[in-house]
Structure 1
C-alpha cells in the first residue's frame, strides 16, 4: 500500500514539474509565453515554437480577438549540460478589424551584446591631449643607450635637456 502511495505522490510531483507556465500579461493588451524544451537532443524546438504560437492564437480566440506577434526570441539547444532550447513569444491581442492584423512580419531582435562608448573629448569640446611621456622611463632608455656606447655624453645631455624641457 505504501508503495502505491509513494508512486502516486511521485507521479503528481512529476506532473506538477511538467506544467507549462501560464500566459503572462505584460500590459492590458500585450502578453508573453515562454517555454523551455528540456528534451535535449530528443526535444523538438520547432514543435515547441508551433505549440507556443498555437497557444497564443487559442488564448486570443477565447476572447474573440486575434493574436498579433510582436517579438519572438529563440535560444537553440547548445552542447552543454542544462543548456536547453527555449522560446519567448510576445504578442498583442487586438480586435479582428484592427489594421495591425494585416501586418505579417515580426520585428527582428537585435543581438544582445555589450557596447562600450569611449568618449575621449575634453569637457570644453577640444580634442584630448596626447598622453604625457613617462620621463623616468625615457631617461632610463637614454642612459642605457649611453652606457652601451650608442650615444656620446654630449648627445645624452642634449636629449636629456630636450626631454626635461618638454620638446
Structure 2
C-alpha cells in the first residue's frame, strides 16, 4: 500500500478498510475484466499472421484474466483458440475434435505450428478452398513428439495417442 493510502486508512479498522478498498477497486477490476475479455474474443488469426504469435497473444490475455481472478479451465481455453482460427483450419479442428485427446494448450500450440508449417509448405495457408485434407485413422507417416502423425506427400493429418 502506498503512503497516501496508508495515511487515509490509518484510523480505519481492518474490516472497514477492506470493505472500502473492495468497493473502490471493484469498478476498476470490472472495467479491466471487460477490456481483456473483449480483446480475447476479438483475437482472430489473420491471413499471414503466425499461429505462434496468435497463441502467445491469447495466452497473455488469459494471464491478465487470471490476475484479476477470472479463470477458465484449459478445455475452454482450447475451444476459444480453435474458434479464433480462420476457415482453412476447419479440417484441423475437425481432426482435433474427432481424435478425442486431452491436450494442454501448449500441446495444441505445437500441433498448430506443425499444421501451419505443412500448410505453408503446400502453399495453402492463405487459400481456404485448397486446405489440406485431414483424416483420422491409420496410415504411414512421420510421428511427432506430441503424437501428431503427418503424411507429407498427401498432406493429411492423423492423431495418435501418446499422451
Which TM-score applies when normalising by structure 1?
0.32
Which TM-score applies when normalising by structure 2?
0.33
- More helix per residue: 1 or 2? 2
- More strand per residue: 1 or 2? 1
Q: Which has the higher contact order (CA 8 A, sep 6+)?
A: 2
